[in-house]
A and B are shown apart, each in its own frame.
Chain A
Amino acid sequence: MDLVYFEELMFTIAFGGYTLSSILFFIFVAMKKERVGKAAIGLAMAGFGIHTLAIVLRVIESGRLPFTNQFEFATSFAWGIVLCYLVLHFAYRFTGVGAFVMPMAFLVMGYASMLPKEIKPLMPALQSSWLYIHVGTAVVSYGSFAVAAGLAAMYLIGERQKASGDGRTVLPKSEVCDYLSYRVIAFGYLMLTLVIVTGAIWAKYAWSRYWAWDPKETWSLITWLIYSVYIHLRFNRGWKGKPAAWFAVIGFISVIFTFIGVNNILPSIHSYR
């Protein structure tokens, strides 16, 4: 048995951990039992630890960070989502957030599990140190946007519950979800800016131009513009609440399209399969 076997085993166990954790989070939100919430967090942490191990094994096998094809980015993306969620959890201890974030990690892991996992050598254009900062910041950025979208969804559900007069909930207050979503988006936006900037400078070295309106570049810019509008309105117009929450969800849909849709529907020089 070689490292590939153990990597796949660790990946599957982590996927299982995230799946169970998502289910437990739903039960926690529905039944409001503290013990179930703690178990869900524990499973998310265990899954994250095992997922990290799977990634480390892949790094050992390939001799580089796992950033070079759709599977590698998807598994890193899921890892980034759980990392951002755990950071948020340990900072604020809102257990209910997991019910909205862990299913996203589960879905991205599910997508990754359907992709070819073989390790391919780096193509010439990717043989650069810029790869690590460009894709590394994308992983953190996309992970943050996923968490922000989860928080925005929580806000929208919280508001609906408030309207229906159901007072008993384990979800944080709507105001908290709104603010946390904004803070996480601000961080993700900073990272996305770095993704675009480092990508442009790298493209100058690799392809002789900063920008080529390639579908991936264009959709990254669209995503960046959506979040720019969100942040601008929040800064200067005091925008918050429902419209901001919807904007966070739309922004994340754009993130998903930039990652999955562009790779599969609009092939380009960024479609590394």
Chain B
Amino acid sequence: MLPGDVKGFPQYGFSLRLDDFRLGFRDNGTVDQYYSDVTVLRPGGEEWSDTMWVNNPLKVDRVDFYQTSYGWANSLSILGPEGEEENTLLRNGESYFYQPGHLTVYLYGYFPNMALTSMGEPITMTEQEINPYYAVILYEFGNHVASEILEPGQEYQFKDFTLAFNDSQLYTGITYRRDFGYIFVVLGSLLMTLGLVFSFYFYPKHILVEENSVRTITRQNTWGFEYQVRQLVQQSVEKEE
């Protein structure tokens, strides 16, 4: 979803609008957290807003919403010789086929803070838009014709056509689930853990005291129990002496 998008969930009786998707940055430019500001819209006009982040999914009624991916949606415009314009959104690794020119525009990547590796490969240092560039590859009739690095808004002329990447927006991928099993998973886990604790540590133990003998009876940890009892007996004998 892009900021402003609304996704309806008629089966659950509400819609979800993404108000904003933003990244929280640390001082060194790395991503600290991903935030989605959303508004839940109900048919009666009732609405409420909340913010999701990783480890903090949104719960609406019994439906859980999670952020599961993100990326840049980049707006491409192509101007033909007659002034006709086509606009589309491309994500990294996607291509657009421009029919009038038999031209395929392949967006190798949008690099918001671009640098080049020693091999000449473009990479982004951070997700902050400090030094943004687009790496674009053009094919005509399926044949490679150009590879370019473009600034935002920079026009590139190929024959009679002009193309430019004007803007980039962060999008977020949202997954939703209605999970009836959660309570069973938690209860099952608790039961299994308690079962292990009881079987390992609260098993039946008996001490059989007869004249001149003390015996231990247990199915589990027979040596350990006998050792403990022997120590106790020894201590009490030492005390008496």
Contact = CB atoms under 8 A, between A and B. Distances in A.
A121 B200 contact: no
A208 B185 contact: no
Given A179-B223, A197-B189, A201-B189, A190 B54 contact: no
B85 to A, nearest CB: 39
Contact of B64 (A127, A189, A208): A208
A204 B175 CA distance: 12
B177 interface: yes
Interface stretch (B27-35, B102-110, B115-123, B207-215): B27-35
Interface in A172-187: 175-176, 178-180, 182-183, 186-187
Nearest to B27: A121
A193 B227 contact: no
Interface stretch (B7-15, B73-81, B191-199): B191-199
22 contacts: A124-B32, A124-B34, A124-B55, A127-B54, A175-B223, A179-B224, A180-B224, A183-B221, A190-B196, A194-B193, A200-B189, A201-B185, A204-B179, A204-B182, A205-B57, A206-B55, A207-B66, A208-B57, A208-B68, A208-B177, A210-B185, A235-B220
A125 interface: yes
A190 B224 contact: no
A128 B193 CA distance: 22
Contacts, number: 67
Nearest to B26: A121
A121 B31 CA distance: 10
Contacts of A92: 227
**Considering the complex of A and B, which 7 residue pairs feature the smallest CB-CB distances, nearest first?**
A179-B223, A208-B66, A124-B54, A197-B189, A128-B55, A186-B200, A190-B196
Interface size class of B (residues with CB under 8 A): 20 to 34
A201 B227 contact: no
Interface size class of A (residues with CB under 8 A): 20 to 34
A179 B216 CA distance: 15
Contacts of A197: 189, 192-193
A176 B34 CA distance: 54
A179 to B, nearest CB: 4
A108 B55 CA distance: 31
A125 B55 contact: yes
A200 B26 CA distance: 29
B192 A193 contact: yes
Interface in A96-148: 121, 124-125, 127-128, 130
Contacts of A189: 196
Contacts of A187: 200
Contacts of A205: 55-57
Given A179-B224, A190-B193, 17 more contacts: A124-B31, A124-B53, A176-B223, A179-B222, A182-B221, A183-B224, A190-B197, A193-B193, A194-B193, A197-B189, A200-B189, A201-B185, A201-B186, A204-B182, A205-B56, A208-B57, A208-B177
Given A176-B223, A197-B189, A127 B55 contact: yes
A126 to B, nearest CB: 9
Contact of B175 (A176, A183, A201, A208): A208
Nearest to A128: B55
Contacts of B179: 204
Contacts of B182: 204
A125 B33 CA distance: 9
A151 to B, nearest CB: 12
B54 A125 contact: yes
Interface string B54-67: 11110000001010
